[in-house]
Amino acid sequence: MVALVLGSAVARADDPKFVYTEKPKDDAKPGGWKADVKAGLLYLTGNSQSLSVAAAARVSYDAVWQKYSFLGDYTYSRATTFAAPTQTVTSLNQLQTVNGLSARLWDLGFRFDQFLIHNNAQWETSLYALVGVGSDYAAGKKLTGDAQLGASTLLLKTGEHALKGEGGFDFAFVDPYQTLPGQGTYFIASLRLALGYVWQISKTTQFNVGVEWLSNLNAENAAYDSATSPNMVPVFADNRVNAKVGLTVQVWDALSLGVTFVLRYDSAPSLSTIPNVPPAGGGPTPPLFAYTTDTITTLQLIYSFGG
């Protein structure tokens, strides 16, 4: 299964991606297991050499009043560039190659929903709990962990349109690749609000939009905030926004084609893994800080099992 990864600019906020669970069935019988597998690949050779791989999977079990979801995704990108040596180049064989890892991120998660209102219509409500672990090389995060608690409500259900809202708390830890002196793993307790919209355009075509906002409830002692001090981020100063737009079209039977665009914003990102240049005249090498906004655009084939 091969698809084209259109492009990626890597980074992640200190939180898991948002997930909006589907409604349970109207009858009293469990819906059973469902699974979706996605895969994408981009491989270039010649004057430009790079390899990018993206894969994701979701497995869920619908037990009417409870729903269990297992989530996982992986992205890897490596590029080879050419550099000229000190002498004059007269042949391609004289060019020096530089191999570099540009992206390596993965996430694993489990989510549980306990439904309180089960009417397959507006105001259907569940309480959810989510735990996850991940890593993002380019964003400077060696290891991240998350735990979420909150409520999820179907705010609007009319025809082919559905709007779901979620609110709760996110508890995260970040172990960065690079730290400032005296710093290491840090923890973030955040307020979380999210909205998800689904438009079932036809039986074979679905459009969805989701946005998630998180803001820290505690001061952070490791992420960088140049507006205050280099080693402290005050309460409500680390704001993270994750937005996702997707279109899925059925190609044949259980095979679909999906296009997604993800935007991630972190007002106080972790330190970058890219080394910085020592200052003139000596002294400690300053860290290099990450960009606050990143995007990921993918085109993937999706195969569904069960249901």
pLDDT tens digits along 212-243: 999 999 988 765 555 555 557 889 999 999 99
Judged against a pLDDT cut of 70, whether residue 67 lies above it is answered with: yes
Do 270 and 291 touch, CB atoms closer than 8 A? Answer: no
Is residue 242 one of the residues assigned to a domain?
yes
pLDDT category at 183 given cuts 50, 70, 90 is: low
The string of DSSP letters for 5-25 reads --EE-----SSPPP--PPPPP
Is residue 1 one of the residues assigned to a domain?
no
Is residue 298 one of the residues assigned to a domain?
yes
Q: Average of pLDDT values for 88-112? A: 82
User: Who's near 197: CB < 8 A, 6+ residues apart?
Assistant: 161, 162, 163, 164, 208, 209, 210
Output the pTM of the full model: 0.80
Judged against a pLDDT cut of 60, whether residue 251 lies above it is answered with: yes
Q: Average of pLDDT values for 12-19? A: 44
State the pLDDT at residue 15.
Answer: 43
Is residue 65 one of the residues assigned to a domain?
yes
Is residue 214 one of the residues assigned to a domain?
yes
Is residue 45 one of the residues assigned to a domain?
yes
Is residue 207 one of the residues assigned to a domain?
yes
φ, ψ (nearest 5 deg) of residue 223: -65, 150
101 vs 47, more confident:
101
Picking from 11, 111, 7, the residue whose alpha carbon sits closest to that of residue 52 is 7
Q: How many domains does the chain have?
A: 1
Instruction: Provide the CB-side half-sphere exposure for 42 (13 A, CA).
Output: 19
Provide the β-strand partners of residue 105.
75, 136
Going by DSSP bridges, is the β-strand pair 293-306/205-216 parallel, antiparallel, or unpaired?
A: unpaired
Residues 78, 69: Cα–Cα separation, whole Å: 31
pLDDT category at 27 given cuts 50, 70, 90 is: low
- Indicate which CATH number applies to the domain containing 261: 2.40.160.40
Range of the domain at 58: 7-18+30-80+98-306
**Where do the DSSP E strands lie in 45-160?**
49-62, 66-83, 96-117, 125-136, 141-158
H or E element: which one contains 301? strand 293-306
User: Who's near 23: CB < 8 A, 6+ residues apart?
Assistant: 120, 124, 154
State the pLDDT at residue 42.
Answer: 81
Is residue 88 one of the residues assigned to a domain?
no
